[in-house]
Amino acid sequence: MAITITQINELRQRTNAGMMDCKKALTETDGDMDAAVKILREKGLAIQVKRADKESKQGIVQIKTSDDGATVAMVEVNTETDFVAATDNFKKFVDAVAFKTLEGSTDLAGDLAEEVKTILMQTNENVKISRSVLVKLEGTGALSSYIHMGGKIGVVVELGCTKPETVAAPAFAELGHELALQIAANAPRYICGTEVPQAEIDAELEIKLNAMKEQKGKLPPENALVGIKKGMTQKFFSEICLVDQPFVKNGPGEKTTVADVVAKVAKELGDTLTVKRFFRFQLGAK
């Protein structure tokens, strides 16, 4: 029988084996999914078969950077226990996943089939390559990265500028590092308010206004609500948008925002600086 791409994708989701291995197993079993899973397990090619009683919630977030600093790979690899996550064998496997990502692999399970078989035999746990990202510098600027809490959180942020000489300035490098620390600590979801979907803003305002109505019995007049909604929106942005967040190094009473910090460094360097994008992986969170 002809094997469909839908069947192949389903088997990949169940096993994380490579596409060609899945197709071959399904062909050998005439499309019998359970039999194909068994074949892959017997061959040692499956990373995991889903087990409801043992989830992979522990693990490591790891980052690897190219020699020139223009490319950064970040991965999250999970296992069942923190004991296994702390072993040298597991750390070595995570490093292999990160380096393979840095090389540009789009099929980590397939490209690391032998390493996967080895780590499964060594740990006897459900090891899972959960996610990965490969970030390449775009234009003039630099990539900064940071690993927090020994691999519980990882951050990659791209900071852009217009002058090549800015990239070599210590203040520029320090700003990139501070932005990575900010993202790790405060978990923003967007860079600025213009990125936030209107539906998300409307939902937040509805929650806040309903709470106000419940507390006071009724809402203020519509003309007063305009300013109230604006304030609520700005407060929301200060929680979820990087540049609107209070700077993580603020002292008591300080109200400096991340945008203020970026503007200050830009003025010092005589350049225009832009936070172009960021990625944040937190162990066990999506």
Terminal Cα distance for the chain, rounded: 38
pLDDT number for residue 43: 66
User: Whole-angstrom Cα distance, residue 263 to residue 192?
Assistant: 14
Tokens 């035999």 locate to 121
Domain co-membership, 177 together with 267:
yes
Asked if residue 179 and residue 64 are part of one domain, the reply reads no
Q: How would you write the pLDDT of the chain (286 residues) with one tens digit per residue? A: 688 888 888 887 776 666 788 888 899 999 999 888 888 776 654 444 444 345 678 999 999 999 999 999 999 999 999 999 999 999 999 999 999 999 999 999 999 998 988 888 788 888 999 999 999 999 999 999 999 999 999 999 999 999 999 999 999 999 999 999 999 999 999 999 999 999 999 999 998 898 888 888 888 888 889 999 999 999 999 999 999 999 999 999 999 999 999 999 999 999 999 999 999 999 988 7
The verdict on residue 121 lying in a domain is yes
Task: Tell me, yes or no, whether 220 lies in a domain.
Answer: no
* 114, 136, 158 - which closes a domain: 136
Whether 18 and 107 share a structural domain: no
Both 90 and 180 in one domain: the answer is: no
Q: Does residue 75 lie within any of the structural domains?
A: yes
Q: Is there a contact between 258 and 165 (Cβ–Cβ < 8 Å)?
A: no
Taking CA atoms, 195 is separated from 192, 241, 253, 279, in Å, by: 6, 9, 29, 15
Q: What is the pLDDT of residue 55?
A: 66
Give the C-alpha separation, 44 to 88, whole Å: 21
Same domain assignment for residues 177 and 256: yes
Helix axes 198-216, 222-240, angle to 10 degrees: 120
Assess whether 11 and 100 both reside in one domain: no
Phi, psi dihedrals of residue 73, rounded to the nearest 5°: -110, 135
Q: Does 32 fall in a domain? A: yes
Q: Give the CA diameter of the chain.
A: 71
Length, in residues, of the chain: 286
Same domain for 190 and 65: no
Overall number of domains in the chain: 3
pLDDT of 50: 45
pLDDT for 157:
98
Same domain (yes/no): 176, 81: no
Which residues have C-beta within 8 Å of that of residue 142, sequence separation ≥ 6?
69, 158, 159, 167, 172, 173, 176
Looking at the domain assignment, is residue 97 inside a domain?
yes
C-alpha 153/C-alpha 146 separation (Å) is 8
Q: Do 156 and 91 lie in a common domain?
A: no
Q: Tell me which H or E stretch contains 55.
A: none
Let me know if residue 215 belongs to a domain. Answer: no
Domain membership of residue 207 (yes or no) is no
CATH at 119? 3.30.479.20
- What residue has token string 């990502």? 101
Domain extent, residue 77, equals: 52-136
Task: Report which of 26, 97, 25 is spatially closest to residue 59, judged by C-alpha positions.
Answer: 97
Looking at the structure, do residues 179 and 245 belong to the same domain, yes or no?
A: yes
257 falls within a domain: yes
Instruction: Decide which of 136, 160, 183 is a domain's last residue.
Output: 136
CA distance linking residue 139 with residue 175, whole number of Å: 18
Question: Which pLDDT does position 53 carry in this prediction?
Answer: 41
CB 37 within 8 A of CB 15: yes
In this predicted structure, what is the pLDDT of residue 95?
98
Is residue 121 domain-shared with residue 59, that is, in the same domain?
Answer: yes
- 131 and 141 in a common domain: no
d(CA 76, CA 129): 6
